[in-house]
Structure formats: structure tokens, C-alpha cells
Structure 1
Amino acid sequence: MSEKIRIKDIAEKSGVSVGTVDRVLHNRPNVSKSAREKVEAVLKNINYQPNMYASALAYNKSYTFYCIIPQHKSEAYWEEIEEGAAKACEARRDFHIDVKMMYYKRFDPSTFIREYTKCLNANPNGVIVVPSDLETTKGFTEKLHERGIPFILLDSYMPDLKPLSFYGQDSFCSGYFAAKMLMLIASGEKEIMLMKQTKNGKVESKQQDNREVGFRHYMQDHFPQTKIIELDLPLDEDENNYDSILENFFTSNPHIHHCITLCSKGHIVGEFLLKTNRRDVQIMGYDMVEKNAKCLRLGTISFLIAQHAFMQGYNCVDTLFKAIVLKKKVDPVNYMPIELLSKENVDFYRRTQL
């Protein structure tokens, strides 16, 4: 009945004018208390469900969302985030949705503050943000709350910031799973290599920190005798120097045959192994970027854990659309699947689920 009933029918049942019903439905002023109560009683009785999609189209408004993410190079996880966000805008083009991308340096909170200040000055309808450190990000999100601007956290979940929603993997479970899968093929090894990229001793994100906690938790519980040897490829190092760092590492650690990295740069090691024709070393890494996929197909990467970056970008924009434009309730926490890719199934991996 709710799909077929007309405003005229509601007006007749309520004993008020069509204009009064329209004002109640759109929560506009200039409606007396008694008239509003009559209309709301009829709406409740017929279980009226407004067509928010059609209503939003009728307003013909435009909406601008801002997405604040780390600066990155090509062949990175963040590229897929951007592509997903752009695809969501295209899918909702009838509603005049636009996403503005903004970038900050991972280890420089001042650049995060600079970008979020620009964002606030633009008065966006909604925001997607990859957090900096907790305190710096809190300074931004408190201002968003003050202005009533909804925001979504991407990549790292910080529930104390009270976002509208979160998209990303359960990073602890992801690291635990990575260790479990790695040790299915490396259970007889006495040593494994953990490759990290850091700056001033810190990895790029809270997500990677949590992955390592999960990884070490599994190793301690099930393979406490296996030694984990860390290799740091500094983020501020000239990439041309990585080969010499890797050469020295494998020369000094000839018994290492299995490596893992909890970031998207497994291809750095994979490409080195291809160049030096080391076929006795295998890597496990993260993210279905093309350079990783190439190493996977050629055999220097044994497994990749995919986290559907494209869908994260798409869903963040679409969730803001549903909450802001359609006034729908959205899920507060959205964990992405933890999927294991090998050279046998990588070509069947679908980065989209549209």
C-alpha cells in the first residue's frame, strides 16, 4: 500500500491539505502541531515509506565529498582507492556527486593539518579520511562533528573518533591469517624474513602495526622456535639502493627461503629475486597491484592477500551518498574480506563486486 498511496490520499485521510502533507513529508516549517500529528498518525497507520531516491533526484542538488589520503606513487594500494571513488561518482552521476582528492605526507602531521584545513574551508558535504596519528586526526574529526559533517574512516579504524562508518580489513586477523598461510609452506624453516618499510623506525600506518601484532601472535603461539629476522628498506632511501641492501641481506642469511611483508611493496623483493635468478626464495605479501601480480605470475611471490581497495574507495563514497543524500542508515563497521591469491587464481580475482 505504501508504494501506491498518493499524497492526495494521505491528505484526505488526515483531513488536511495536500500542501500540508507535503510539508510534513519533507519536514518543512509552517505546520501546526495538530495538523502534523494528524498526518503522522496516518503515515504510521499505513506504514508509509517515502521514496527517498526519487525525492533526492527532485531536489537537483549537487554534493561534494573530500577524500584525504596519503601521497603515493603509482602501483600503489591508494591508486585503487581513487579509482573506486571515481567509479562511485560515475554510478551516482544523476545526483551530481563529486569527490575531491587531497594528499598528505604519511610522517608529517603538519601536512595533514594543512590539507584538512583546506577541506574545512571548502565546507564539504562529507569526508573520507585515512587517519594520521590519533591526536592529529582527532583535531580534525572534532571540527567535523562540531559542523555536523559526516565522515568515514578508511584503512585504520579509530572508534574513539566516532565516524559515520569505517571500511578496511580487520588488521589483527589479517596478520594472524598471513602467518598461518605462510607457515603452511614454511613450517620446516628455522628463520624467516619480515620485510618492512619504515621512517624513523615507524611503519606507514596503524593498520600495518596491527597486522604485525597479529602475525607475531600466531608465530609465538604456534612456531615460537622460528626466528623472525627483520629487514628494513627505508622509505626515504633511494630505491636504486634497495638491490644492494637485499643482496647483502641474502648473502648474510643464506638459510632464509621465505619472506613476508605486511605492506603492498612485496614486488621490491620479488623483482630483485627475478633479476638475480634466486629461485629458492618465496615471498608473501599484500595487495593486488600490478607489480605484485606480475611477481606472483612469475613465481617469486607465492601468495598475496587482497583487501579489495577498489571496493573500499567505491563503498566509502556510496555510503556517504546513502547517508547524506538518501538519508539512509548505514553500517558503522565494514570489514573487507581477507582473500588469498596465488598464480593459479590471480587471473580470476575480481577487484569489483558491483
Structure 2
Amino acid sequence: MDTGKIRIKDIAERAGVSVGTVDRVLHKRPNVSKSALEKVEKALAEMDYKPNMYASALAYNKSYQSFCILPKHESEAYWDEVEEGTMAACERFRDFRVSVKLLYYNRFATDTFEKVMDECLKEEPDGIIMVPTKIDVMRKYCDLIHQWQIPFVLLDSYMPDLKPLTFFGQDSFSSGYFAARMLMMLAPHETEIMLMKQMRNGNVASKQQENRETGFRHYMHDHFPDVTITEVNLSLDTEREQYDDILEEFFTSHPLIHHCITFNSKAHLVGEFLLRSNRRNVQIMGYDMVPKNAECVRQGSISFLIAQHGFMQGYTCVDALFRAIVLKKKVEPINYMPIELLTKENIDFYRRNNIG
């Protein structure tokens, strides 16, 4: 029998029970005797019945509200891609009344994360997507979330001790290791490389950036131990108008540096400076296919970009919550995004929306 055409009436006749009893068994409702339950389960097995989870979810007619907690960001930044993917997934599951509310925190101020988490939990959400902050703060809130049995997804940085429903993001260490390997294919004879950071009070924005740098330095230590890595901090406490002066002084005093790397999405800060100052013998490697980075790739001041597929991350986070909460399905606990290398030759073929 075609299991897609099996009706509740067919199951009831096979089991010798009422249609109402079958409906209660299928939807795991109470008031079903042990004898009737055994008859229905036997009939389901004999008929190889596979429930249509989508149809059941639609019939349930319930609304599902989740929250997505992201770092504050500028327009046209990496997190814009994540937001677009999140909203695209909500549109995809609109008939199931799935919605996601976006909240923002300052990555350098944990109290802002606590504020938005308190706001989120007051709403008693069905699910939560989070870009993590410091582990001690995360642990406090994740303990509460587990206590209230709210499924949550970690995005960007993986913290397995928090026991999330699932994680979406790159393997940061491997990504940094890969970046070093690609960079040194261009610069095998260099003696010094510039590492551009953006820090505040001595801290970088995320654990992910730290892990990328660890992977990068690991490769360099093993394969190019004599290469000097010189750091430049375009501090977030400094006015952006001063960046040109910082970079001019650096490159003037380090004329032998021809290659730079950064582990954030702001490679364009150096790339645009190189174009303005007409330094055609220096290139930078960075992350994220944001518009300003892409233009520097086209103009030749950025050699490589590593894409994180932010749109796909945002989309699949919502999809995972949908499958777990609405369809009651299991999801993979770890989902690593591809490490994709973009150059002048392929950047215009990059698919931000890589779903389906």
C-alpha cells in the first residue's frame, strides 16, 4: 500500500478501533488504553505507516517564536548575511508560523549580552540562536536554558561544554591553518608578514578569531618558523580617520613586507589604504565576502578571501530549530561550514545563497 495515501480510517479498520483512538495515538495524546495502543501500533507496523510530519505540523496550527542573538554590526557587514539567511528561512517556513526576532549585543561588553538574554527569556521562546560571548556568562544562561528545556543553536563559535542542540560555523583552527598554507604559497620567500588585528582593551572580538590565529601560527611554526609575524592593531578605541596614519607609518618603516593577513571581516581597511597610497606590491588576505572586501579583491589589493557562508549559516540555524521543535526530528550536533577560497577570478561567481 502507498503509505502516502494511508488514511486514519484505514488504520482504524485494520486495528479494529475507532478513528478517534488512532488520532490520539498518532498525536501522542492521553486516554488510550494499553490494549488499543498495542492494536494501533501493530497495524501501523503492518502497514509500514510513515507519518507526514509536515502535514501534521500544519494541522497543529501553532506559532513558534525564536530569538537570534547577534553582535551589533555595521550595514553591509558579515552579520548582514546571517540575518538575511535567518529571514529567508522564516519565509520558507511561514506556513508553519515560524518567526525569529533579532536582538543585538556589544561583543566587548558582556552586560549587553546579559541584558538581551534576559529580554529573550522573559518572552519564553521556543528556541534560541546565539553567537557566544565569554564562556562564564554563556554557562550561566545555558544552565537556565537547559533547565527550561529550550533548544538552542550556537553560531560562529563552538562551545561543546554548553551542550547546544547543534552548532553551525567553520572549524576555526582548521580555517586559520588553511589560511596560512594558502598565504605562504604566495609568499614562500618572505621573511616578515603583517597581522592586522582590531582590538579593544587588548581583546579581539571573538573566540573564533583567536582560534583562527592559533591555527595560523601553528602552521607557520611548523613550516615557516623563521618568518616574523608583526602585529598591527587598528584599535576599535581609535578613530577610523587615524588608521591611514597608522598604516602609513607601518609600511614606511617595514618596506620588506609584501603580505598581510587578518582574521576578521575588515581586510578592506588595509586593502583600501593600499589602493589610496598606490602600494601595488603589497596584498592582504582576509575573511568574508562583504561588499568592501569584494571590491578590494577586484581591484587587486586583497589577494584571497575565505568565505564563511553567513547566509547559509543563518538559514540552517532556523532550519535546525524547525526540524527539532516543529517536526520533532533529530539534528546533527556539529555542522561545519565549507572553507571556500575566493579570488579575483571566482569572486563574482560566489553564491551567497547556497541553499537547496
TM-score for both structures, normalised by structure 1: 0.98
- Structure 1 position 250, deviation (Å): 0.7
C-alpha displacement of 1:176: 0.3
1:177 aligns with 2:157: no
Partner of 1:16: 17
**In the alignment, which residue of structure 1 is the partner of 2:144?**
143
1:157 — aligned with what?
A: 158
Match of 1:319 in 2: 320
> Aligned runs of 1:255-266 on 2, under 5 Å?
255-266=256-267
1:310-329 deviation digits (Å, cap 9, x = unpaired): 11001111111111111121
The alpha-carbon deviation at position 42 of structure 1 amounts to 2.0
Q: Are 2:271 and 1:270 equivalent residues in the alignment?
A: yes
* Alignment partners' CA distance in 2, 1:283 and 1:266: 7
Question: d(CA) in 2 for partners of 1:333 and 1:150?
Answer: 14
Query: What's the offset of the Cα at 1:44?
Result: 2.6
Question: Secondary structure, in 3 states, of the residue corresponding to 1:330?
Answer: coil
Render the CA deviation track for 1:90-118: whole Å, top value 9, x for unaligned. 11111121110001110111111111000
Task: Tell me what 2:331 maps to.
Answer: 330
Secondary structure of the 1:3 match is helix
Q: Deviations over 1:174-205 (max 9, x none)?
A: 00000000000011100000111111211111
Residue of structure 2 equivalent to 1:224: 225
**Farther-moved stretch of structure 1 (31-40 vs 160-169):** 31-40
Q: What is the CA deviation profile of residues 110-169 of structure 1, one whole-angstrom value per residue up to 9, with x for unaligned ones?
A: 111111000000011110000001110111111111111100000000011111110000
Alignment-mate amino acid for residue 253 of structure 1: H
Give distance in 1, aligned partners of 2:39 and 2:149.
Answer: 31
Counterpart in the other structure of 1:342: 343
Give the SS at the match of 2:331.
coil
Letter in 1 for 2:274: L
* Unmatched segments (≥5 aa) in structure 1: none
- 1:33 maps to 34
Write the letter of the residue equivalent to 2:294: A
| TM-score, normalised relative to structure 2 | 0.98
> Any runs of at least 4 consecutive aligned residues in structure 1 with deviations exceeding 3 A, and if so which?
none
CA distance in 2, matches of 1:239, 1:45: 70
Q: What number of residue pairs does the alignment pair up?
A: 354
Greater Cα offset, 134-143 or 150-159: 134-143
Deviates more, 1:183-192 or 1:37-46: 37-46
| 1:118 aligned residue | 119
> Which residue in the other structure is 1:353 paired with?
354
Which aligned pairs between 1:292-303 and structure 2 lie closer than 5 A? 292-303=293-304
Match of 1:93 in 2: 94
Q: Percent of pairs identical after alignment?
A: 66
Aligned to 1:73: 74
| Offset, 1:4 | 2.5
User: Alpha carbon RMSD of aligned pairs, Å?
Assistant: 0.9
User: Residues 319-353 of structure 1, C-alpha deviation per residue, up to 9 Å, x if partnerless?
Assistant: 11111111121111100000000011000111112
Q: Distance in 2 between matches of 1:197 and 1:47?
A: 58
Amino acid at match of 1:14: A
d(CA) in 1 for partners of 2:354 and 2:225? 39
Partner-residue secondary structure (3-state), 1:302:
strand
Structure 2: which 5+ runs fail to align?
A: none
Compute the displacement of 1:15 (Å): 1.6
Output the CA distance in 2 between the equivalents of 1:135 and 1:247: 40
Write the letter of the residue equivalent to 1:99: V
Q: Report the Cα distance in structure 2 between the residues aligned to 1:70 and 1:237, rounded to whole angstroms.
A: 20
Partner of 1:44: 45
Is 1:282 the equivalent of 2:283?
yes
Q: Which residue of 1 aligns with 2:59?
A: 58
- Partner-residue secondary structure (3-state), 1:230: strand
Quick one: distance in 2 between partners of 1:10 and 1:93? 31
